[in-house]
C-alpha cells in the first residue's frame, strides 16, 4: 500500500487487465457487484481510501434500441465518492466507457446501477447523506462529511423525491387538519394535513384559507377523494366549508380537545372577572388565599393533588358562583370521558345547555352558540372516538424541526423537510409529493 496523490490517476490500458489482476478480497469488501477492484491506496494524512476499479461487464445496452454492444468507442476518467469506512473518505477511481451501437450506430455512455448518470457520488452514499439529514441540519451533515452544504441539500431533496411513492390501497381514510404558526405574531400559518391512521404528515399547505384547502382536495385523484371517510378538524369555519364543498361524503369531526379548549377559554374570562370582584371584598388576607386558584379551576379535577383539592374547596366556600362554573366545566368534560353512545351523549349535552341557560352566566352563552353551530360535528366524535391528538403531537415535531433550522425563510423547503421527516418510513408518501423539487 502506498500514499496516494491528491488527484488519483486514471487506469491505463483498461483492456489489458486480466482476472488475475483483480483483488478479490477488496472487491468483496467494496460490495458493489458492478466493479472489480484492481488495487487500492491509502492516504493516512487525509484519511482517504482510493479503490482503483474496472467495470465487471464487457458490454452495455443501447438506451435507444436496447441492442447489446461490445464496441468501445471511448474511455472517460471518473472519480466518485462512496460511503465512508472507519471515519475515512472512500473514492472509486475507474474509466467509464462509451460504446457505439451496432444497430443504430449512436454513441452512448454505459449506465451503472450503483451510480446515477453523471453523478460524483454512489447511490448508497447519496442515501447515507439523506439518512444523516433526518434529524440534523444540512450544515451539521456538511461539516461531518466534509461537503458543501448546498450539495447536501440537493442530495437530500433528490433522495426525498425517490421515497415518495404511493399506491391506492395505502391512501388514508381518516385525515386530521390543523395549523401551525410559521412566524409568531405575524398571523402566518401553515396548514398541516395528517394521516390519523398512521400518525404521519401527508402534506403541508402555505396557508389555512378555504380556497387553498379546496384546491388541494381537488388535486387528488377521484379514487383518493372517495377513500377519505372522516376528517377531524378544530373549530375553524373555513375548514368545515372546504370539506363540505370538496368531500360532501366525508364525516366531519370537531376535535373534542379544541372544544374543551374553547370552553376553558370562556370560563377563564368569567373566573378572572369573578376573582377580581372577590379581591375587593373586605376579607382579611383574601389576596394570598386566592393565589393560584385560577389554574386549579381550569385543571381537570381528576388530576388535582391534595393541596389543590383543598384550594378548590376554599373556592367553593368563598364563591358559590365560581364553584358552579367549575362544576359545569367538569360535567361537560365527563360527557366526553365516559359516554360512548351518540344518542346518549346528545341527551346529556342538551341537558347541560339547559343548565347553563338557567344558570344565567352571560359569558357562557357564546360557547353555547358555538356548540349549537357545530352540533352534529361535535356529536360525530361519539361515533368512533376520533380526535386530533396525534396531530398535536405531529405539530410539536414540526416545531422542533423549525427550531433546529433556526426558522425557514423558504416555505417550500420547510414543507419538504416536514414531509420527509414525518411522512412515516419513506414509501409512505403520496403521489402528489413528486413536486418536492
Per-residue pLDDT of the chain (437 residues; tens, 9 = 90+): 333 433 444 444 444 455 567 788 888 888 888 898 988 888 888 888 899 998 888 888 898 888 888 888 888 899 999 998 888 899 999 998 989 998 888 899 888 888 988 889 999 999 999 888 887 888 899 999 999 999 998 888 888 777 654 433 457 889 999 988 877 766 788 899 988 888 888 888 988 999 999 999 998 888 888 889 999 999 999 999 999 999 999 999 999 999 998 888 888 887 777 766 666 666 555 555 566 667 777 777 777 778 777 777 777 777 778 788 888 888 999 999 888 899 999 999 999 999 988 887 788 888 999 999 999 999 999 998 898 888 888 888 888 888 887 878 788 888 878 888 886 543 334 434 434 43
In a domain, residue 2? The reply is yes
| Same domain, yes or no: 280 and 356 | yes
- What is the total count of domains within the chain? 3
| Same domain, yes or no: 250 and 392 | yes
In a domain, residue 156? The reply is no
Q: Exposed, middle or buried: residue 343 (CB in 10 Å: 0-12, 13-18, 19+)?
A: exposed
| Same domain, yes or no: 300 and 346 | yes
In a domain, residue 350? The reply is yes
Looking at residue 185, its pLDDT comes to 65
| Same domain, yes or no: 66 and 114 | yes
In a domain, residue 267? The reply is yes
- How far, in Å, CA of 11 to CA of 53, rounded? 8
Residue found by looking up cell 376579607 in the block: 283
| Same domain, yes or no: 299 and 402 | no
- How far, in Å, CA of 379 to CA of 326, rounded? 23
Burial call 344-370: b when 16+ CB within 10 Å, e when fewer: ebbebbeebbeebeeeebebbeebbeb
End position of a domain, from candidates 53, 85, 120 = 120
In a domain, residue 145? The reply is no
In a domain, residue 261? The reply is yes
The CATH number of the domain holding residue 189 is: 3.30.420.10
- How far, in Å, CA of 34 to CA of 97, rounded? 13
- How far, in Å, CA of 165 to CA of 309, rounded? 54
| Same domain, yes or no: 8 and 115 | yes
| Same domain, yes or no: 203 and 243 | yes
In a domain, residue 217? The reply is yes
| Same domain, yes or no: 405 and 305 | no
| Same domain, yes or no: 266 and 367 | yes
Report which DSSP code applies to 365: H
Full-model pTM: 0.69
| Same domain, yes or no: 305 and 359 | yes
End position of a domain, from candidates 120, 150, 181 = 120
Dihedral sign, Cα of residue 170, residue 174, residue 177, residue 180: negative
End position of a domain, from candidates 99, 120, 141 = 120
Looking at the DSSP bridge assignments, the partners of residue 174 are 230
| Same domain, yes or no: 245 and 261 | no
In a domain, residue 221? The reply is yes
| Same domain, yes or no: 28 and 84 | yes
Instruction: Establish how many alpha carbons lie within 13 A of residue 435's alpha carbon, considering only the half-sphere containing its beta carbon.
Output: 6
Question: What grid cell was written down for 211?
Answer: 380556497
Residue range(s) defining the domain that contains residue 284: 257-384
Dihedral, CA of residue 53, residue 56, residue 58 and residue 64, to nearest 10 = -100
How far, in whole angstroms, is CA 205 from its chain's centroid?
Answer: 12
CA dist 36 → 27, 81, 86 (Å): 6, 16, 21
Amino acid at each position: 500500500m502506498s500514499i496516494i496523490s491528491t488527484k488519483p490517476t486514471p487506469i491505463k490500458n483498461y483492456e489489458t487487465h486480466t482476472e488475475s489482476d483483480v483483488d478479490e478480497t477488496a472487491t468483496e469488501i467494496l460490495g458493489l457487484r458492478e466493479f472489480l477492484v484492481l488495487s487500492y491506496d491509502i492516504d493516512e494524512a487525509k484519511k482517504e481510501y482510493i479503490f482503483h476499479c474496472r467495470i465487471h461487464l464487457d458490454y452495455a445496452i443501447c438506451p435507444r434500441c436496447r441492442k447489446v454492444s461490445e464496441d468501445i468507442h471511448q474511455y472517460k476518467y471518473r472519480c466518485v465518492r462512496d460511503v465512508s469506512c472507519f471515519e475515512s473518505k472512500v473514492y472509486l477511481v475507474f474509466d467509464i466507457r462509451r460504446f457505439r451501437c451496432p444497430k443504430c450506430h449512436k454513441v452512448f455512455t454505459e449506465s451503472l446501477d450503483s451510480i446515477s448518470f453523471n453523478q460524483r457520488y454512489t447511490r448508497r452514499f447519496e442515501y447515507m447523506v439523506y439518512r444523516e439529514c433526518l434529524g440534523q441540519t444540512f450544515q451539521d451533515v456538511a461539516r461531518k462529511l466534509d461537503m458543501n452544504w448546498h450539495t447536501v441539500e440537493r442530495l437530500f431533496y433528490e433522495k426525498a423525491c425517490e421515497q415518495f411513492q404511493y399506491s391506492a390501497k395505502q391512501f388514508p381514510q381518516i385525515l386530521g387538519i390543523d395549523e401551525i404558526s410559521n412566524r409568531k405574531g405575524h398571523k402566518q400559518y401553515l396548514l398541516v394535513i395528517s394521516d390519523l391512521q398512521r400518525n404521519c404528515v401527508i402534506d403541508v399547505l402555505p396557508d389555512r384559507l378555504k380556497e387553498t384547502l379546496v384546491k388541494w382536495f381537488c388535486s387528488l385523484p377521484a379514487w383518493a377523494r372517495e377513500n377519505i371517510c372522516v376528517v377531524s378538524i378544530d373549530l375553524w369555519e373555513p375548514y368545515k366549508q372546504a370539506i363540505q364543498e370538496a368531500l360532501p361524503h366525508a364525516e366531519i369531526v370537531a376535535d373534542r380537545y379544541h372544544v374543551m379548549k374553547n370552553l376553558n377559554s370562556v370560563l377563564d374570562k368569567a373566573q378572572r372577572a369573578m376573582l377580581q370582584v372577590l379581591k375587593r371584598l373586605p376579607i382579611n388576607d383574601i389576596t394570598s388565599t386566592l393565589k393560584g386558584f385560577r389554574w386549579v379551576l381550569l385543571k381537570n379535577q381528576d388530576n388535582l393533588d391534595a393541596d389543590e383539592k383543598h384550594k378548590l374547596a376554599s373556592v367553593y366556600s368563598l364563591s358559590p358562583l365560581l364553584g358552579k362554573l367549575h362544576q359545569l366545566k367538569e360535567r361537560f368534560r365527563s360527557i366526553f370521558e365516559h359516554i360512548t353512545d351518540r344518542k346518549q351523549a346528545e341527551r346529556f349535552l342538551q341537558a347541560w345547555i339547559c343548565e347553563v341557560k338557567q344558570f344565567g352566566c352571560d359569558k357562557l352563552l357564546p360557547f353555547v352558540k358555538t356548540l349549537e353551530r357545530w352540533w352534529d360535528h361535535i356529536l360525530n366524535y361519539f361515533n368512533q372516538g376520533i380526535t386530533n391528538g396525534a396531530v398535536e403531537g405531529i405539530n410539536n415535531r414540526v416545531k422542533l424541526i423549525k427550531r433546529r433550522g433556526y426558522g425557514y425563510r423558504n416555505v417550500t423547503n420547510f414543507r419538504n423537510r416536514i414531509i420527509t421527516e414525518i411522512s412515516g418510513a419513506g414509501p409512505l408518501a403520496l403521489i402528489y409529493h413528486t413536486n418536492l423539487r
